Amino acid sequence: MSQINLDRRRFFLLGGTAALAIGVPSLLSACGAPATSGATGGTSGAASLGKTQVQALGGGLCGSPSYIAQEKGFWAEQGIDVELVSGTFQQQKDGLASGQYLVANGDFQFFPAVEQGLDLKIIGGMHTGCIKLLVPGDSPITSVAGLKGKKIGVDEIGGTPWAVASVALGDAGIDPSESAGQVTFAPYDLTTLEEVAKRGEVDAIAAWDPQATIAENNGFRVLVDISSHPLFAGRFCCFLYASGAAVNDKPETVAALLRGWYKAIEWIAENPEETARIVTDSSQHEAYVPSEDQELLVTLLKSYHYKNHASSASSDSQARDDALFFVGKLKDVGYLSSSIDTEQFVDNLVVQVDL
């Protein structure tokens, strides 16, 4: 793991200035979920580290650290004026490459792009377990192996649910690549996946919470729950990525963003009920999470083990271990070249930001 050593005195001075920032709270949501809504306004007032955008608006509950960092003013406290915006996975990659986005929330679906030359660094992780692979309750399919020759609905080709389903398929002996023709993925709006499956347009769905658990509560059968499935249990479903240029050229801003996220993670761990209220509040703007079942959201937030990841030390160590694991799995299913050196790939990918 590489380490970016920053002058702690400079951070202390910046932090002192940032504390004076006054903001009005207004990232791929979740771990890369696509979004269709417009931007949510950023902070106002002094912003010693300037303005930046975080692609986060997509309706997934596991984007809560971004929502809370914004709404509770944790980024404003660091001197950053953040605007939450929507976009696709491809737009997120392009934004990181161009410098439009300094840091983004995503998962191992970024690894192939890194192999192809996209200069990204994992700088931390946020939580575990927020995606499920399901079939309708009356489906004859009872295991992942039964998905051979079937059609799976996802919110986006290339997104995290797609990547999770692909790894699970590969583990069951099914080649998930389009060229192999052993399974088909079809993109739909996240909020319509349950209905699409009920109509028989797809045989299974891979989805974020809360939509995944809502479908489960409505009678869908879970084939893979990444919070408990042996392949995924205890592993990050959401990493934080920074562009290599941002890490090198704007280390103070990257670190300040990261501090805001960690503060949000700690706050969520201590306040899951209030978090559920905030992310579903539509009084000032469109709700971050389109759900009226706050009890369900609280249960899900508690299941993501935020408390275990509310520090850079625990996050950094696990991020590297999980990156190693998923590089191996993506090599197994052919999404990464079998010739890459796994250890070297991860050593170049994961960096430690000095907070």
**Where are the alpha helices (H) located in the chain, listed in sequence order?**
8-18, 29-32, 64-71, 74-77, 89-98, 111-115, 160-171, 193-198, 211-217, 244-249, 251-270, 272-280, 294-303, 312-332, 342-349
Residue written as token pair 């051979």: 148
Sequence ranges of the domains in the chain: 2-128+236-353, 131-225
Greater confidence, 279 or 330? Answer: 279
Angstrom distance (rounded) from CA 275 to CA 280: 9
Report the CATH number of the 131-225 domain.
3.40.190.10
- The answer to whether residues 140 and 146 touch, using CB atoms and an 8 Å cutoff, is yes
**Per-residue pLDDT at 46 exceeds 70:** no
Tokens of 334: 């052919």
pLDDT attached to residue 118: 92
Tokens of 296: 């369900």
pLDDT attached to residue 19: 31
The DSSP code for 45 is S
Q: Average pLDDT, stretch 245-261?
A: 94
Q: Which strands, in side-by-side order, build the sheet including 236-243?
A: 103-106, 236-243, 120-128
230 phi and psi, to 5 degrees? -55, -30
pLDDT attached to residue 3: 41
pLDDT attached to residue 10: 28
Q: List pLDDT tens digits, range 152-178.
A: 999 988 878 898 999 999 999 999 999
The matching CATH number, chosen from 3.40.190.10, 3.30.160.110, 2.20.28.90, 3.40.50.2300, for 2-128+236-353 is: 3.40.190.10
**Per-residue pLDDT at 202 exceeds 90:** yes
β-strands 81-85, 51-55: how paired?
A: parallel
pLDDT grade for 335, boundaries at 50, 70 and 90: confident
Give the N- to C-terminal CA distance of the chain in Å, as an integer: 16
Q: List pLDDT tens digits, range 342-355.
A: 999 999 999 989 88
Angstrom distance (rounded) from CA 19 to CA 48: 10
Q: List pLDDT tens digits, range 79-124.
A: 999 999 998 888 988 999 998 999 998 888 789 899 999 999 999 8
Q: Average pLDDT, stretch 314-339?
A: 85
| Percent of the chain predicted with pLDDT > 70 | 83
Predicted model pTM: 0.76
pLDDT attached to residue 40: 52
Say whether 61 sits in a helix, a strand or coil: helix
